[in-house]
Structure 1
Amino acid sequence: MDEFLKESNELFSLMQNIRRELHMYPEIDNKLYKTSELVESYLRNFNIKYKKYSNNGIIAEIGSKKDNIVALRADMDALEVFDLKDVPYKSKVEGYMHACGHDAHTAIQIGAAALLKKIEGELDGSVRLIFQPAEETYGGAKEMIEYGALEGVKSIIALHVDETIDTGKIGAKRGVVSAASNPFKIIVRGKGAHGAYPEDGVDSVYISAKIIDNLQGIISREIAAVNNAVITIGKINGGTALNAISSEVIMEGIIRTLGKDIREYCIDRVSNIVENTAKMYRGEAVFDFIEGYPSFENDELLFNLFKSIINEKNYAGFIEADKPSMGVEDFAYYAQKVPSLYYKLGCRNEKFGIINPSHGSYFDIDEKCLIIGCAVQSAFAYKLLKRE
């Protein structure tokens, strides 16, 4: 058996215990007090130097050579989701749950830290371990970069568990991996009136319906079918009474795009359509958007090396994804700075009923995937240092 896989098997109980501890006591955003304390305790136990920051992020390093650094990133935050699973490690914090697998990412990273520390003398460089908060909220990656997480780093690697891929398989996408996002708010203003006399008012609900309809024309008639964009209105609030013309409606949504040009085009067109549709029906509207996570792509050289290592060492079956995801990931901020590789770690097991979607109340993982994740992260970092 490959040494990395052998060592990862021996670390399984450790990683399983860490993952379950985190799953029982999830924390969100950057309020990761118990989570970061747990990570610190293991780093101290392994005698790994680290620094903790005010956002509860942690940067640790294994190896003494600073001219050749590879980074591994693990996100640590949970979600505001109720855990409805009937398992011994069910969340004990009501309304919070590790519904996206970041508990597994953190456990794998700690396992990789233990493995790599054991062979520290064999490393042709250093491995930097980034334990990051707030991936699900404001993009903690940006803060970690500001703290110096990428100083001297030549490449960075991250994984994400995937419940659509069976345990024992790994998926990776050549080129563009993930979409960009732009959350937005639209405020539509009209004039209130009695519902029996709509001519006396300006109906903000009616205007909002027209805006929603017109926005979908961008996707169906202005974006080429071979390109990717999605515009979603997910929240609407307006009106005070069923028999009154509403004077104001507030809508919130998100634009998801692949590629900078399409992103800029969609933002410009949404703004234009919102403003002019409102004017057409005697109202006014304001469009306010947030510069969300950018799109990103896997480095070609890293992708080819990663694929060859997986196939050569037979850590897992390799699946080359043919389509990018319209989901977003703040790993994009790292990828903008240094060559990067982001891949999916299969955690699905139909035999044990582990089939439920992420961000849902029944999400779970086949914990055997922890072994594969630890072996792959460690081996890839080791090989990258040798290669560079």
Structure 2
Amino acid sequence: MVLLENFIDTERKQILNTYKELHELAEPSWKEEKTSLYVRQKLERAGFDVQTFQGHYGLIAEIKGESHEVIAVRADMDALLQEIDGVVQANHSCGHDGHSTMVLFTALALAKIKHHHTIRFIFQPAEEKAEGALKMIEEGALENVKFLCGIHLRPAFEVANGMAAPVILHGASSCIRGTIKGTPAHAARPEEGNNPIEAAALLVQALQKIHVQTDVSYSIKMTELHCGEASNLIPETARFSVDLRAKSNEVMELLIDEAKQTIRSIEELSKTKIIFQQDSYSPAAVKNEHAVMLAEEAIKSVLGEKCFVPMCDSPGAEDFHFYTLKQPDMVATMIGLGCGLEPGLHHPEMRFDITALLNGTKILTKLLLEADKQTW
């Protein structure tokens, strides 16, 4: 491990330069062409055979071990589309450029020694759309995988700079999008129409009354409403979005059922037609004690006892948890890396101490080495 840490320290300038170059490449979900090519070329120059796919820019690289059993690490590559100074553009305000940098240099470090298990490096597209993990699973990314880890930059108010948590307890999230169809009319003759805006108002109130019997936190609220083009007309349609959050997958399922029943009841009450669908689902994290133990040992080994945080409880969502949802027997965890990140994730002016990427790379390297020693 000392030799690998020395390699990472020696590559400090390259690691930081790689982050900066990936940051400038920022590409939105499913359009990560330049980012993917950049990572692929770095891996191929180091002697990796890189697997690519038709229809998307995800990558898989491996270090073959004595065993066909696989331990794996996942990075996400996409950026957000955000409005900055009045212009909508791709922006790395969630740290995926940092995640790709750390996993890339973990691969370069581990390629220098032999391993018992095969080590797989998964670079996935479209995390921000909660679709990339599912696509990589379809492509066989989890074949023979016994252990999986990931890493995510954390805001300073969650994990302080220089510290790390062995698990991020993300919640589940989903979205219901719909269209309310009423009957248009002139505003002077409202009795001839059926106003979808009024139906939307009833829906907002009904959603606020939803209550699920649980000790687990959750929320449901309308976050979008678009209707009307003129002040003197009752519109025909109103489009809406409802955001749902829950700290467990079980509660999320209950919440989704309640929301659907509520929408149907408002449809009947308002005598409108409401067409809706659920999308953008991300499952909640499921804590795995074995994985957390290994991650804790790796963090303490790299940062020391005082820089260990037992867990990071996040209200956000992550499609990393599709991997464990689809393969529940797999041991997995996502590390939360403190890096002085401010003002927060997804803020267009997000910034952090990029030297923390060195710590993250060392932690991932140590964690995979420890996982390689295990009997799975």
**What is the TM-score normalised by the length of structure 2?**
0.91
Please list every run of 5 or more consecutive structure 2 residues that lacks an aligned counterpart in the other structure: none
Find the counterpart in structure 1 of residue 26 from structure 2. 26
The equivalent position to 2:359 in structure 1, one of 353, 358, 372, is 372
Alpha-carbon distance change, 284 to 33 in structure 1, aligned in 2, over 3 angstroms: closer
Q: Residue 381 of structure 1: SS of its match in structure 2?
A: helix
**What's the offset of the Cα at 1:280?**
1.9
Alpha-carbon distance change, 50 to 322 in structure 1, aligned in 2, over 3 angstroms: closer
Find the counterpart in structure 2 of residue 234 from structure 1. 223
Q: Residue 357 of structure 1: SS of its match in structure 2?
A: coil
Contact 2:295–2:335 at 8 Å: present in 1 too?
no
Contact 1:186–1:286 at 8 Å: present in 2 too?
yes
1:64 correspondence with 2:58: no
**What is the TM-score normalised by the length of structure 1?**
0.88
Alpha-carbon distance change, 208 to 360 in structure 1, aligned in 2, over 3 angstroms: same
Find the counterpart in structure 2 of residue 130 from structure 1. 122
CA-based RMSD = 2.2
The equivalent position to 1:321 in structure 2, one of 291, 300, 311, is 311
**What's the offset of the Cα at 1:30?**
2.0
- Matches of 1:260 and 1:166, distance apart in 2: 28
The equivalent position to 1:199 in structure 2, one of 187, 191, 196, is 191
Find the counterpart in structure 1 of residue 239 from structure 2. 250
Contact 2:166–2:295 at 8 Å: present in 1 too?
no
Contact 1:275–1:287 at 8 Å: present in 2 too?
no
Give CA-to-partner distance per residue, 1:24-71, whole Å, 9 cap, x none. Answer: 121111222211111111112211222112211111011332333210
Q: Residue 333 of structure 1: SS of its match in structure 2?
A: helix
Find the counterpart in structure 1 of residue 374 from structure 2. 387
- Matches of 1:235 and 1:358, distance apart in 2: 21
Find the counterpart in structure 1 of residue 82 from structure 2. 81
**What's the offset of the Cα at 1:247?**
2.6
Task: Give the percent of matched residue pairs that are identical in Structure 1 and Structure 2.
Answer: 27
The equivalent position to 2:293 in structure 1, one of 282, 288, 304, is 304
Greater shift in the superposed pair: 313-322 or 256-265: 313-322
Contact 2:165–2:296 at 8 Å: present in 1 too?
no
Alpha-carbon distance change, 234 to 74 in structure 1, aligned in 2, over 3 angstroms: same
Q: 1:79-228 to 2 correspondence within 5 Å? A: 79-82=80-83, 95-119=89-113, 121=114, 123-164=115-156, 165-173=159-167, 177-218=169-210, 222-224=211-213, 226-228=215-217
Give CA-to-partner distance per residue, 1:113-136, whole Å, 9 cap, x none. Answer: 1110112x2x22221101111111
The equivalent position to 1:270 in structure 2, one of 237, 255, 259, is 259
Q: Residue 19 of structure 2: SS of its match in structure 1?
A: helix
Contact 2:212–2:254 at 8 Å: present in 1 too?
no
Please list every run of 5 or more consecutive structure 1 residues that lacks an aligned counterpart in the other structure: 85-92, 349-353
- Matches of 1:312 and 1:38, distance apart in 2: 31
**What's the offset of the Cα at 1:360?**
1.8
**What's the offset of the Cα at 1:98?**
0.9
1:288 correspondence with 2:282: no
Q: Residue 95 of structure 1: SS of its match in structure 2?
A: strand
**What's the offset of the Cα at 1:141?**
1.1
Contact 1:5–1:371 at 8 Å: present in 2 too?
no
**What's the offset of the Cα at 1:243?**
2.0
Q: Residue 290 of structure 1: SS of its match in structure 2?
A: strand
- Matches of 2:139 and 2:167, distance apart in 1: 29
What is the number of residues matched between the two proteins? 367
**What's the offset of the Cα at 1:82?**
4.8
Contact 1:170–1:318 at 8 Å: present in 2 too?
yes
Give CA-to-partner distance per residue, 1:236-263, whole Å, 9 cap, x none. Answer: 1112221222332111122222333322
**What's the offset of the Cα at 1:379?**
0.6
Alpha-carbon distance change, 83 to 38 in structure 1, aligned in 2, over 3 angstroms: farther
**What's the offset of the Cα at 1:182?**
2.3
